[in-house]
Amino acid sequence: MKQLSVSEALNEALIEEMERDETVFVIGEDVGTYGGIFGVTAGLLERFGSRRVKDTPISESAIVGSAVGAAATGLRPVAELMMLDFATVCMDQIVNQAAKIRYMFGGKTKLPLVIRAEGGAGANAAAQHSQCLEAWFIHVPGLKVVMPSTPYDSKGLLKSAIRDDNPVIFVEHKVLYEISGDVPEEEYVIPLGEADIKREGTDVTVVTYSMMLHTTMSAAEKLSKEGISVEVVDPRTLYPLDKKTILDSVAKTNKLVIVHEAPKTCGFGAEIAALVADEAFDTLDAPIKRVTAPDTPVPFSPSLEGFYIPDEDDIIKTIKEIV
C-alpha cells in the first residue's frame, strides 16, 4: 500500500488508463497547461501531448458535445466540467444525447464517456459552485452515476468508469481532494454497482456516500462509546445501485438512516427509503430517517454554510431517535 490523496489517486488512474488504451483522452477547461483546478490532470499534457489532453474554451456544451461525438466514433473521452453546477448549461448533450444514443441506435454503437465534475459544499464557493445534483442524473435512464469517498475507491472506480461502454457521471466532492488513504501498489479496479460496508455494526444501518461518509464514520465512532453500534454502507455507485448490500444490512440491524449533503426533497435518500419500504418493510423496527441539507441554495457565508451542511451532531441526534 501507498498513501495517496484523492486527487493523486484520480491522477494515477488517468495515467494508467491512458497508458493502457490509446483511445482514452482528456478534455476540458484548464485540464492541460494548468493541470486542472484541483490538480487531477497535472502532468498529463507533458506525458501524453496535446492530441490526448485537450484544453477547451469556456463552453460546457462544446466539451460534452465533442466528447459525445468522439465516444460514438470509437474513442474513450474523459470530459471534465470543473463544477457539477456547470452541467446545467450542457444538459441537452448529457440527457438527450449521451444517455440516449446507444438505446436509440439499437445497441449498434457504444458510448464510452466519463464526465468528471466537482460537487459539494464546504469551500465557501456559494450557491452556483457548491451543489449536489447527483439525483438529477440518477433519474435519467442511460447514465451511470458514481460518487467515491476515499482515495482507494476514487482510483478503482474511475478506472472502471473509463473502461465502461456507457456514459458515466463521476462526481468528486471538492473537499475530499486532499484527504489521503491507502491505495494498492498493484493495479486494481472496483466494479461499478458494488457497495462497500465501511463499518460493521448491529444497531442501525446508515447509508451514505461522498463527503458525508467521513462525517458519518466520525459520528459512528462517537456513538460506539455510548454502546450504539452503527453499520455504515457506502453505495459508491449510485446507479446502478447495489440493492442487496443495503437490504441485507437493514435486515441485520432493523433500522435505517440515510445521510447525504443534497437537499432532502427528491434527493437520493428518498429512493433508498422507498427501496427499503418496498422490499424490506417487515424487517424495520423503526421509521426510516434522513439527514440532509435543507431545501435552500447553498449559502456563501462560512457560518451559514456550516449550518447548511449536515454534521456529526445531526447524525447522532437522528440515530438516537430510533435506537
DSSP string, 82-100: EEGGGGGGGHIIIIIIITT
Alpha-carbon distance 67 to 98, whole Å? 9
Find, among 292, 9, 315, the residue nearest to 134 by Cα: 292
Q: What is the pTM of this model?
A: 0.97
Name the residues annotated as catalytic. Answer: 129
Place of cell 475530499: 176
Residue 94's contacts (CB-CB under 8 Å, 6 or more residues apart) are 64, 87, 115, 137, 140, 143, 167, 169
pLDDT values of the chain reduced to their tens digit, one per residue, 323 residues: 999 999 999 999 999 999 999 999 999 999 999 999 999 999 999 999 999 999 999 999 999 999 999 999 999 999 999 999 999 999 999 999 999 999 999 999 999 999 999 999 999 999 999 999 999 999 999 999 999 999 999 999 999 999 999 999 999 999 999 999 999 999 999 999 999 999 999 999 999 999 999 999 999 999 999 999 999 999 999 999 999 999 999 999 999 999 999 999 999 999 999 999 999 999 999 999 999 999 999 999 999 999 999 999 999 999 999 99
Answer whether 10's CB lies under 8 Å from 181's CB.
no
Beta bridge partners of 5: 180
Residue 44's contacts (CB-CB under 8 Å, 6 or more residues apart) are 11, 14, 15, 18, 26, 31, 32, 35, 52, 53
Q: Sort strands 2-5 and 24-28 into parallel, antiparallel or unpaired.
A: unpaired
φ, ψ dihedrals at 66, nearest 5°: -70, -35
Domain 196-322 has CATH 3.60.20.10: no
CATH of domain 2-183: 3.40.50.970
Q: Do domains 2-183 and 196-322 have the same CATH topology?
A: yes
**Domain positions in the chain:** 2-183, 196-322
Alpha-carbon distance 131 to 164, whole Å? 26
Q: Determine the pLDDT at residue 102.
A: 96
Q: Determine the pLDDT at residue 268.
A: 98
φ, ψ dihedrals at 105, nearest 5°: -90, 10
